[in-house]
Structure 1
Amino acid sequence: MTGTDNGREAYAAERAELARLLPPAPGTDLPPGRHEHHRERLMNLIDDDTARAQGRTGADAQDRARERAGRPDRSRLLRPSFLAPATALAVAGALVLGYAAQNGGGPADTGDTRSVSQVLLRMSDAAGRSDALPIRDDQFLYTRGTGRDVDLTSGKAVIGPLEESESWYSQKPGPQKKLGLIRQGGHTLPINAELGDSEGTRPGLNRPTYRWLATLPTDPRQLLDYFDEITPKFEGEDRDQALFESIGGLVGHALLPPDTAAGLFEAVALIPGVTRTPDAVDALGRKGVGIARDDERSGVRTEWVFDPEDLSYLGWSSHLTRDTEYGKKGDFMGDSAVIETAVVDKAGVKPQS
């Protein structure tokens, strides 16, 4: 293998890792490929910054453009973009009452480690006492939500309007090529298997069925070790942030067995750098308690929002923690809010009121 090949492999790995660190879009199902388009624009800006810093030539930039051109256009794939990262999975569950976010402005003051640990232990206790019923293999997880997208095509973060959507996620065991349905803007589309899963996507981080979640260890240390094994690794990443994001994809976006949910909250308390934000607000104006972690490499804070009374999950938000080419410190990077969640017997059918 040549030095050029090694360099391109390292570049591709770094780029993939940075793409994973960008704010996911859990909660609201936006049109297929839309968030991928924004991510691509942001990655281009990062590439330009890197090129200037390293003094790369115009020929190098052309090579990078050719590499991009050779990748499949994911906007043509009939699948919601939030399925790609392990941090943005199927929405709703026993603890999921809404998707939330902080409506712009600077980062909230964070609490100390003892404070966030106490809150997470209270969440664990509440989750363990949940009487949520399991979902059968032949049923679907239904979610109706709304959220705002952030457009990066201009080089700056531009907040879009609230958009409502519905989704149905299959709980079938084994690999599946059709994972469910998404409905938005009057269009209903299939949710296809993960990119590259030619035989179908198996239950796991990218497809957290209730049956798979019930097989996870419940001891918090064992859970954290297990997530360290199954969460993809990228050179130069903040591994603690990767675990926080990976677990967040389940805490916020899946129907969790009570024991699994309790263990996950306690596992989060073991991750360094996790803090409490007391004044989180969702897209619908609901105020809550935030559990957050800053990713120093990407300059993005990821925050989960919980109801201040019963500590049920309210949502997710993100904003910039430093000035960048596409925004200033504190700039809002998207939000969403779940309006309704339910278990239904058939995809495309709304739950009975």
Structure 2
Amino acid sequence: MTTCPDLFTPGVDDFELVQIAEQFDAAQERAELEHRLFEAPAPHEVVRLADKAKRHTRIAGWMNQAAARARVEEWKLQARAQAEISCNPNSNKIVLSLFDHTGNWSRPWEEAGYQVLRFDIQDDPVTGDVNAFDVAFFADYFGDFDGLDVYAILAACPCTEFALSGARHFAAKDADGRTLAAVQLVHQTLRSIEYYRPVVWAIENPVGRIEKLGGLPSWRLAFDPNHLGDPYTKKTLIWGRFNANLPIAPVEAVEGSKMHTKFGGRSMATKNARSETPEGFAYGFFLANNAIDNPVLAVANKYDRLDARLIRTAIDSGLTAEQVDCLVSDAYYFDLDDVAAEQALREAMASGVA
């Protein structure tokens, strides 16, 4: 995990940008021998919340705003209830939230008892600078989290250089170095993800060119805020490894495209307003991806080279995440012996360890 920003040229052309993306793609493909962090989602794993909302409204119509707000409040209560669990297992899990000036996306995780660390250069030019991330950075500033698991990495990468809404400015940004700087932030985010290998990782951006230039696998989730209780539209895509089947609270987008009608302008304040994570999405994403409500996801993604069906069977048979760790971690991480790890699970189930 490294970065050399001082070696960057001021700007690049389209061909050079594509070369940078292809080289980064190749490096990720080589890393897939050790993990499956960056696999593209299977067709059945791709979710368009517009389709879920359409099915809901065909049967029951749009939710009124009060009902949708009540549903989101229920999601909040579910998140906060986890913090009250005796010996809360969330307290031993780290969530890194990058480019998180508002804290909205990571707030449900914090309320549920996870140890959340937010990074945004607007808040701290030293520890908030993603370009500074490397092994020494996390060791020096955070003691590498005392060896605790990084469960999730959430990243709302700056979108100005990627969003199609600003396509008329792409040539100028490519020439003066802004695009290259934005691509480096995405690549640095992916390096951090590969270093910590979290159960859940997600990168958010509007429709645009981040996938091509950033070396991302194809997107997994598409949504508008009104699918989750916020009455406006802003087509957003999420790339990563996570459960995309979020709960919904579909309301009419009576405020239209709020980002254009109310938050026009070039100031940092308006840019922050445009990029603010909708509350309904933040809590819906948490419910679909937290470790307590989604134990199979939590274990299968941690040991992603193993047969996910076997892990589901093991969890369904009564094995806890902690028991799976004890059974497979040495073979999986130290010996790189996936056959032995899977055999340990089978033997445990056969002997009725659970």
Q: Is TM > 0.5 for Structure 1 vs Structure 2?
A: no
So what's the TM-score if we normalise by structure 1?
0.25
Q: Which has the larger radius of gyration?
A: 2
So what's the TM-score if we normalise by structure 2?
0.25
Q: Relative to total residues, which structure has the larger helix share, 1 or 2?
A: 2
Higher relative contact order (CA 8 A, sep 6+): 1
Q: Relative to total residues, which structure has the larger strand share, 1 or 2?
A: 1
